[in-house]
Amino acid sequence: MRPTPAQARLLRALDQYPYVRVLWNGRQAELIGPQSWKVDKQLRQAGIRVKSATVRAVTGQGWMEEDEPGSNAYTISQAGREALEGLEPDDFRSAVPMMTAEDVKLALRRQFSPPNWFYAEEVHLTDWETRRLDVLALLLADDPMVSPAHPLSVWAFEVKVSRADFIAEVSDRAKSRLAWTVANYFSFAAPAGLILPHELPDGAGLFEVHGRGRVVMAIRPRYTRADPPDWKFIGALMRAHLREA
């Protein structure tokens, strides 16, 4: 897997400045090293932004490693240097997003609409107060787009509009594991071309949003026998639905 532009810039900075470290405790990240105005200025000019999602993805790929076990101070690994090899100048530049998360959700909202679907966004599950699912849709009647599908099956969608966000999710997998506890089908929904099929976690599907909001099921998700819905789940689904009403 290739680094995203943000990840590539971070790895390049760590490669160019061996005395700079990323201090990472699993939640917050910051650059540490000699208090050199010149280095700080060069890092800012290089577009280095140490975000938790970027660091989580980079460490998940093994591109950074701890100086010493338990130090929480990370530097580039040999695998990270190998990931930099062959990158072109354009690989370090972030493209301007052509589609927002709201654009993708709007396309899903139109595609998975009544009477065939019950649709809800930002579903916060009671047992996971800090976790939410971007979109949940309940299949009420046959829909040619997903046919054949189990009746009354639950479809979960994770919306991604950036490579960095997608790679962080694939490295962490917490949200996809959560989705499979309540949903029969789990898929990513993203602008067309953002996610390559071979990058998907095993069993996950891919719905691509094309120009003018056309939704295409590029990769069909695998059916999973989820836990039967309980009142907590039904309540979370109804709360999310009522927020949109």
Q: What CA–CA distance (Å, rounded) separates 87 from 82?
A: 10
Instruction: Return all residues near 106 (Cβ < 8 A) that are at least 6 apart.
Output: 213
Tens digit of pLDDT at every position of the chain (245 positions): 889 888 898 898 889 888 888 888 887 888 777 654 455 555 554 546 678 888 889 999 999 999 888 888 899 999 999 999 989 887 887 665 578 999 999 999 999 999 999 999 988 775 545 578 899 999 998 898 898 888 789 999 999 998 888 888 888 777 778 788 889 999 999 998 888 888 899 999 999 998 889 999 999 999 998 877 777 777 877 877 777 66
pTM (2 d.p.): 0.61
> What's the topology of domain 5-92?
Arc Repressor Mutant, subunit A (1.10.10)
CB 191 within 8 A of CB 98: yes
